[in-house]
Structure 1
Amino acid sequence: MRLYQQLAVSLGVLAVGAAAWLWFAPGGRELMASMGVVESKSAAKPAAGGRGGGFGGAVQVVTAPVRMGTVNDQLTAIGSGAAIQSVTLLPEQAGTITDISISSGDTVETGEIIVQLDDREQVLARNLAEVALESATRQADINRRISSSISNLEVYNAEIAEKSAQLDLESAELDLARRQIVAPISGVAGIVGVTVGDYVTTSSEIVTIDDRSAILVDFSVPERFATAVTPGAPVEASLVSAPQKRFDGVVEAVDNRIDAASRTFTVRARIDNDNDALRAGMSFDVTMRFPGDEYPAVDPLAIQWDSEGSYVWRIVDGASQKVRVRVIQRDPDMVLVDAVLKAGDAVIIEGIQRLREGGPVREASTGAEASS
């Protein structure tokens, strides 16, 4: 190939390469258009607009208004139930049981005799005390009538003997009364653990009586609720063994100090047991709710994240604005945030991927209005 032919081929290859580079390089088409090689893109095609908008058009978005919501501070704990009154009966004296007047599960009334112990010895002692008192009383009366003929000391001694005999009778009657085991409260008797003929001592448990007209539930509460929990505050409880059964109650009492080891304090709740569905010893899930502070509430779709944390897009004067937020509480239909937002502000929930700070946006609809 001749030299001029090689030169022509080389120039042609270079021209094709330069044209290809100008065609694909950024700004190359505009340079070719200015040289008259191709038609200008802006002259051949009108400026983009409408949905999506191109580089200079407004991004179409969907928004939802900011609402105000309250943080629901909730306390949950597990507590154990106890009867409002409960007593375990033990004999005051040792002896043999001669009679039991109740059965397990019976309802008893205050003052009702539950168990009778053998009291023959005590009856005899009382009778002797009555005779001694009668004798001392007569002797004192005689000495008072003849006080003019006897010394004052004899009158005084007779009166002292009378008073001593009266005290002996009262002691004998007390010993006799202690042979009966009496219900100190009204309630339901538990399992009777003794039978007639058993010899019992002062440490022998006879039966337990529970007044379960109401149940007291003790549970531990973190110290941050110390000022929020007060007597009379409502309490909701459910059985651990049957969560579907729920009961309403109130705070009966609050402990006066914080446990230094656990940083908790004890609260006692009272639950009425009118239908006798609850028993002492049951485990309860206890819930207390406290109204908290008010915060802006946004749609969950509005929350976005980047390297600096969470934020939302807000529309201000037709432009998108990034607002930093701190999530306080998440609920299924809204998120409470700490941010410079007010009720009614339009935050963007759709079309977020194409947004930029200060970029123009066009609102399509309001998510809250569409849902309502």
Structure 2
Amino acid sequence: MRQQSPTNMRAGLFLRTCAVALAGTVALAACSKKEAAAPAPRPVVAVAVHADGEALQAASLPGEVQARYSTPLSFRVAGKIIERRVRLGDVVKSGEVVALLDPADAQKNATSTQAQLDAAQHNLVYAQQQLGRDKAQAKENLIAPAQLEQTTNAYAAALAQRDQAQQQAALAKNQLQYTTLVAGHAGFITAEQADTGQNVTAGQAVYNLAWSGDTDVLCDVPESALTAFAVGQNASVTLAALPGRKFNARVRELSPAADPQSRTWRARLTLIDAGPDVRLGMTADVTPALPLAAAAAAHGVFTLPVTALFHDSRQPAVWVVRAADNTLELRRVTVIRYNERTIVVSQGLKDGESVVLQGVHTVSAGEKVRAIAPLHPEDFAS
């Protein structure tokens, strides 16, 4: 057997040492990569949501009691207010005088136009008499035909001047009457917009008059509730000032377009059995006879705490924990009601899905999480 030299032995020992070290380094690197690739799921406060039928039945929209017709009262001529005969909250009758302007200028104008009318009437009488004399003389051939034509033209001009003066006198008389402000309908004075001694222009509002008669309730309807607020649909109305009473109403008018800011439609409902105790400006809760939305009736509604609400662009959304892989998904939802501590969702969720209730601004889509129950469940109770 051939004996190895000391030099060869040292070289082989060095190579074996390097191989062992390299294998250890590779093993450590593999372990490090394996540990970094599997971080622990992040804990989030989430609970499974279930359909809430009571929320659908109790859902209502806020509204306000208003008169069906409300118009400003204003003078049709300019002038200085010398007297106001009614005040805020007064009941007025149709044809009742509510304010007066200084009539001095209007009276002088009426007197002037009446004088012009008298003069025009006198000229017309003279022209008519002259025309009669000229016609009689023309039959006897005592005047030329041209003179008769001039007399006829003079009479026509006098007649036109008389008619013009009549119209001017009637206009001046009307303007004198316009210095008296009269209520065109019975109703209530809901606003005072000018004071005694103030100079006002024609058409400037002095009072606002809410007509007596039909009473409306105005409310803003979200898109999810449009089906229930179609024209002719019935609804029930409760008033905060009259607890324990419920009024019947019918949708009379629905705006054809949504408000560009609130994205809601203005609805007007007529109170069918409103009495004298129903006052203008009262706050109301409007509950349609049909469910708030067909989709809500089909899929149910969910009551969530307001802390779960997030936004996707400008649309309301919530974070849903997907059951398949425990990752987060931002889901757009339709909110049909905002309460003090909760929201009512009609579309976007399914029964049994887990929704994040807390820290919605600190998570991101696709993040792997671990759902945990809230520490104090009463804080998130609906």
Pick the TM interval, shorter chain: 0.5 to 0.7
Secondary structure of the structure 2 residue equivalent to 1:129:
helix
* Distance change >3 Å, CA 146–CA 137, structure 1 → 2: same
Q: Residue in 2 aligned with 1:216?
A: 216
Q: Give the C-alpha shift of residue 239 in structure 1.
A: 2.3
Does the aligned pair in 2 maintain the 1:251–1:268 contact within 8 Å? yes
Q: Is 1:83 the counterpart of 2:82 in the alignment?
A: no
* Distance change >3 Å, CA 131–CA 263, structure 1 → 2: closer
For 1:94, which of 78, 95, 107 is the aligned residue?
78
Secondary structure of the structure 1 residue equivalent to 2:279:
coil
Q: Residue in 1 aligned with 2:328?
A: none
Q: Residue in 2 aligned with 1:119?
A: 103
Q: Is 1:155 the counterpart of 2:155 in the alignment?
A: yes
Does the aligned pair in 1 maintain the 2:250–2:270 contact within 8 Å? yes
Q: Residue in 2 aligned with 1:134?
A: 118
* Distance change >3 Å, CA 229–CA 207, structure 1 → 2: closer
Q: Give the C-alpha shift of residue 139 in structure 1.
A: 1.5
Q: Name whichever structure is richer in strand by fraction.
A: 1
Does the aligned pair in 1 maintain the 2:83–2:99 contact within 8 Å? yes
d(CA) in 2 for partners of 1:260, 1:77:
19
CA deviation string 1:248-283 (max 9, x = no partner): 211111222345765542221112575322333322
Does the aligned pair in 2 maintain the 1:72–1:290 contact within 8 Å? no
CA deviation string 1:134-187 (max 9, x = no partner): 221232233133223551331222122112211211221122122111112210
Q: Give the C-alpha shift of residue 77 in structure 1.
A: 0.8
Q: Residue in 1 aligned with 2:198?
A: 199
Does the aligned pair in 2 maintain the 1:213–1:276 contact within 8 Å? no
Q: Residue in 2 aligned with 1:173?
A: 173
Does the aligned pair in 2 maintain the 1:109–1:183 contact within 8 Å? yes
Write the letter of the residue equivalent to 1:249: A
Aligned residue runs from structure 1 range 251-330, under 5 A: 251-258=251-258, 263-272=263-272, 274-290=274-290
Does the aligned pair in 2 maintain the 1:214–1:273 contact within 8 Å? no
Secondary structure of the structure 2 residue equivalent to 1:237:
strand
d(CA) in 2 for partners of 1:260, 1:133:
57
Does the aligned pair in 2 maintain the 1:109–1:187 contact within 8 Å? yes
d(CA) in 2 for partners of 1:158, 1:88:
43
Q: Residue in 2 aligned with 1:186?
A: 186
Does the aligned pair in 2 maintain the 1:122–1:172 contact within 8 Å? yes
Does the aligned pair in 1 maintain the 2:215–2:274 contact within 8 Å? no
Write the letter of the residue equivalent to 1:188: F
* Distance change >3 Å, CA 294–CA 80, structure 1 → 2: closer
Does the aligned pair in 1 maintain the 2:80–2:199 contact within 8 Å? yes
CA deviation string 1:67-108 (max 9, x = no partner): xx9x97665111222212222323333333333333443321
Q: Could you tell me the TM-score, scaled by structure 2's length?
A: 0.51
Q: Residue in 1 aligned with 2:3?
A: none
Structure 1: which 5+ runs fail to align? 1-68, 296-306, 309-337, 339-372
d(CA) in 2 for partners of 1:115, 1:253:
34
Write the letter of the residue equivalent to 1:201: V
Q: Give the C-alpha shift of residue 214 in structure 1.
A: 3.1
Secondary structure of the structure 2 residue equivalent to 1:290:
coil
Identity %: 22
* Distance change >3 Å, CA 264–CA 193, structure 1 → 2: closer
Write the letter of the residue equivalent to 1:207: Y
Write the letter of the residue equivalent to 1:199: Q
* Distance change >3 Å, CA 106–CA 73, structure 1 → 2: closer
Does the aligned pair in 2 maintain the 1:94–1:199 contact within 8 Å? no
Q: Give the C-alpha shift of residue 119 in structure 1.
A: 0.7
* Distance change >3 Å, CA 213–CA 170, structure 1 → 2: same
* Distance change >3 Å, CA 258–CA 89, structure 1 → 2: closer
Write the letter of the residue equivalent to 1:234: N
Q: Residue in 2 aligned with 1:234?
A: 234
Write the letter of the residue equivalent to 1:142: Y
Q: Name whichever structure is richer in helix by fraction.
A: 2
d(CA) in 1 for partners of 2:206, 2:221:
36
Q: Give the C-alpha shift of residue 201 in structure 1.
A: 1.0
